[in-house]
Amino acid sequence: MTTARSTAPGPAPLSLWKRWAPTFWFLVVIAVVVWAMTGMKSYTVKWSEAWPSTVNIVKLMVRADWPYTPTLLAKLLETVQMALLGTLLASILAIPFGFLASRNMGKKLSGFGKMMLNAIRAFPEIILAIIFIKGVGPGPLAGIMAMGIHSIGMLGKLYAESVEAIDKGPTEAMLSVGANRIQQIWFGVVPQVLPEFSSYALYRFEINSRAATILGIVGAGGIGTDLIFAIQQRVWSRVGIILLGIIVVVTAIDLGSGWLRKKLV
């Protein structure tokens, strides 16, 4: 009795590239890391000297400067106000940039709009703060302007993505009944993107509340100014209570903003 042999093709053998691709990319990552480390200078750390000094600083920070609390609360309030005003400025000014950079609204100008947003995002807040300090002087106004301008780059990009993802049905229906371009945007596009715009603005407010604490280091108002002075003067008990206040405020803003964003989206 003859046994019939199966003529069905078996699984194709893996190609050489597919077999060795994970190893290749692993070696590439290792090579890039080694290349990056060659530009770093190695310093010998004297742990026997650094560790006792670090422990002593932490002990002094734990002894918080409680009499400083009224001033701390006022500075934290100023920091939150800076973040709020900077975010409000950016959330409004980013709207035309978002529509300009979107492919379905800006059309031929979308590339130019994206390029402008990339250029705005290229400058960190602290660099903009230094520039504005030279123009308007030290204080919260420089910090507000720095956060506002920098935030336009991020919010404009997110706004553009939201506009590009809209349902075209409402705008096409309005076009069929004779609505002009402005009416299509106001009644067909804005209601769709407004919840996402608000959610992105709240998320940016979370980021700016942290950035505002740093901008004060260069003189742009807020709690950062007192923090850098306390560090320079080695008043570690004041540094401790300032850091505690920043942690409490940032945590409260994150929780509140997260709750609001869940309600909006």
Q: What is the CATH number of the domain that holds 227?
A: 1.10.3720.10
In this predicted structure, what is the pLDDT of residue 28? 92
Confidence of residue 1 (pLDDT cuts 50, 70, 90): very low
Tell whether 92 is covered by a domain: yes
Tell whether 32 is covered by a domain: no
Predicted confidence (pLDDT) at residue 198 exceeds the cutoff of 80:
yes
Q: How is 27-66 classified by DSSP, letter by letter?
A: HHHHHHHHHHHTTSPP----HHHHHHHHHHHHHHHHS--G
Single pTM value for the model: 0.74
Contact of 154 with 242, CB cutoff 8 Å = no
In this predicted structure, what is the pLDDT of residue 48? 63
Contact of 199 with 190, CB cutoff 8 Å = no
Domain that holds residue 178: 64-264
Supply 21's token pair: 């691709």
Task: Name the nearest CA neighbour of 125 among 177, 80, 168, 86.
Answer: 86
- Look at the chain and report how many structural domains it folds into: 1
Tell whether 223 is covered by a domain: yes
Tell whether 115 is covered by a domain: yes
How far apart, in whole angstroms, are the C-alpha atoms of residue 203 and residue 257? 7
Tell whether 194 is covered by a domain: yes
Could you give the count of Cα atoms lying within 13 Å of 148 in the half-sphere of its Cβ? 17
pLDDT digits (tens, 9 = 90+) for 83-94: 999 999 999 999
How far apart, in whole angstroms, are the C-alpha atoms of residue 79 and residue 65? 20
- What mean pLDDT do residues 162-170 have? 81
